[in-house]
Structure 1
Amino acid sequence: MNTAFEIVIAEDNPRDREFLCASLSQYKLHVANNGHEAYLLTKNIKNPFVISDLQMPGCNGIELAKMLWKEKPTARIIFWTHYQDEIYIRSLSSIIPEETVYGYILKTNTTNQLLKAVNMVFSECQCWIDPLIRPVQKRTKQSQQTISDLEFEVLTDIALGLTDDMIANRRYLSKRGVQSRLKSLYAKLEIEHDRISLSPFGRKVNYRSRAVAIALQRGLINPVELASAEEELMDWFNS
Structure 2
Amino acid sequence: MTELRRLRVFIADDHPVVLAGVRSVLDRDPDVEIVGEARDGETTLRMAIGLKPAMMVLDLSMPGLNGVEVTRQLLAQLPDCKVVVLTVHEDRAYLRKLIEVGAAGYVLKRSVTDDLLRAIHAVASGGMYLDPSIAAHAVDRTLDSPSENATAGADLSEREVEVLRFASVGHSNKAIANILTISVRSVETYKARAMDKLGLDNRVGLVGYAIEKGWLAAS
TM-score interval, normalised by the smaller of the two chains: 0.5 to 0.7
Contact 2:67 / 2:85 at 8 angstroms: preserved in 1? yes
Matches within 5 A, 1:67-216: 67-96=73-102, 102-122=104-124, 124-138=125-139, 139-142=142-145
Q: Secondary structure of the equivalent of 1:74? A: coil
- Report the equivalent of 2:9: 7
| TM-superposed deviation, 1:143 | 6.0
| Structure 2 spans left out of the alignment, 5+ residues | 148-219
Structure possessing the higher radius of gyration over alpha carbons = 1
Matches within 5 A, 1:211-226: none
- Report the equivalent of 1:168: none
AA in 2 matched with 1:126: G
| TM-superposed deviation, 1:42 | 1.6
- Report the equivalent of 1:28: 33
Contact 1:12 / 1:56 at 8 angstroms: preserved in 2? yes
Structure 1 stretch displaced more, 130-139 or 18-27: 130-139
CA distance in 2, matches of 1:69, 1:136: 26
- Report the equivalent of 2:153: none
- Report the equivalent of 1:213: none
CA distance in 1, matches of 2:112, 2:69: 27
CA RMSD of aligned residues (A): 2.2
Q: Which has the higher contact order (CA 8 A, sep 6+)?
A: 2
CA distance in 2, matches of 1:88, 1:20: 21
AA in 2 matched with 1:14: P
- Report the equivalent of 1:235: none
CA distance in 2, matches of 1:22, 1:75: 22
AA in 1 matched with 2:22: L
Identity of aligned residues (%): 26
1:119-172: CA deviation from partner (whole Å, max 9, x where unpaired): 1112x221111111114434222368xxxxxxxxxxxxxxxxxxxxxxxxxxxx
TM-score (norm 1): 0.53
User: How many aligned positions are there?
Assistant: 139
- Report the equivalent of 2:198: none
Q: Secondary structure of the equivalent of 1:42? A: helix
AA in 1 matched with 2:11: I
Q: Secondary structure of the equivalent of 1:57? A: coil
CA distance in 1, matches of 2:99, 2:115: 23
| Structure 1 spans left out of the alignment, 5+ residues | 145-239
- Report the equivalent of 2:72: 66
Contact 2:49 / 2:77 at 8 angstroms: preserved in 1? no
- Report the equivalent of 2:56: 50
Q: Secondary structure of the equivalent of 1:8? A: strand
Q: Secondary structure of the equivalent of 1:16? A: helix
AA in 2 matched with 1:104: Y
- Report the equivalent of 1:225: none
Higher helix proportion, which one?
Answer: 2
TM-score (norm 2): 0.57
